Amino acid sequence: MKVGIIISSHRKESQSAKVGGWLNGVLKDMSVQTWVYDLGKNPLPIWDDSFWDGGEYWDKIWKPIEQELLTCDSFVIVSPEYSGMASPALKNFFLYLGPVHVGHKPALIVGVSSTRGGAYPVAELRESSYKNTRICYIPEHIIVRDADHMMNAGEPSSKDDEYIRSRSIFALKVLIAYSEALSEVRETGVTNDPRFKNGM
């Protein structure tokens, strides 16, 4: 079992990275292998259609990431809320993806806000990012509000912090269960039909 954690803040040091790091620690405590990709520290170029042609430039950028994606069974997608939207870096990242990378693999969405926001990235990702990638968002999601005071090192600092930690552990357990179940779906081969490469 391997879970990819995608952190999509544009900042090199971010609350999203902190939250992703905390979730990574929980998964490791569950004896789950993880791969963390931080788009703030490793930004991707803006996608353009020359990517489809491949070549040395794109291979150098994408091949190492692709190899990790192919070996992941599921994903945790961590997005800050930028002006009521999911991170632009994350939306750019999804343009690189196809069913071979994330198709019919479960994912947990985690919205992050320094105030009382965080819901809009969840809604946006559920609405639009699955069409051609075939990523399968599980019904559970997490919204970490007032993120500066949540999931810091040590014991929970408040009842809200204690709650979001407990809720996150629950959601990760659900994600792992979906990972095991959907691996069997992919193994049947029913999801692979070259006639229907894109969603409707």
Reported as a single tens digit per residue, the pLDDT across 25-66 is: 999 999 999 999 999 999 999 999 999 999 999 999 999 999
Question: Does any domain span residue 105?
Answer: yes
At residue 16 the predicted structure's pLDDT band, cuts being 50, 70 and 90, is very high
Can you tell me the mean pLDDT for 153-165? 97
Site of tokens 């905390």 = 22
39: left (phi over 0), alpha (psi -120 to 50) or beta: alpha
Q: Categorize the per-residue pLDDT at 104 as very low, low, confident or very high, splitting at 50, 70 and 90.
A: very high
Residue 160 lies in a domain: yes
- Is the model's pLDDT at 197 over the cut of 90? no
- Cα-based distances in Å from 80 to 40, 42, 152, 162: 11, 16, 17, 21
Is the residue at 145 inside a domain? yes
> Helix (H, G, I), strand (E, B), or coil: what is residue 88?
helix
Number of independent structural domains in the chain: 1
For residue 183, pLDDT beyond 90: yes
3-class DSSP string for 102-122: HCCCEEEEEEECCCCCCHHHH
Structural domain of residue 133, as residue ranges?
Answer: 2-188
Tens digit of each residue's pLDDT (9 = 90 or more) over 69-92: 999 999 999 999 999 999 999 999
Backbone phi and psi for residue 153, each to the nearest 5 degrees, phi listed first: -60, 145
DSSP assigned state of 20 = H
CATH number, domain of 92, equals 3.40.50.360
Q: Is residue 198 part of a domain?
A: no
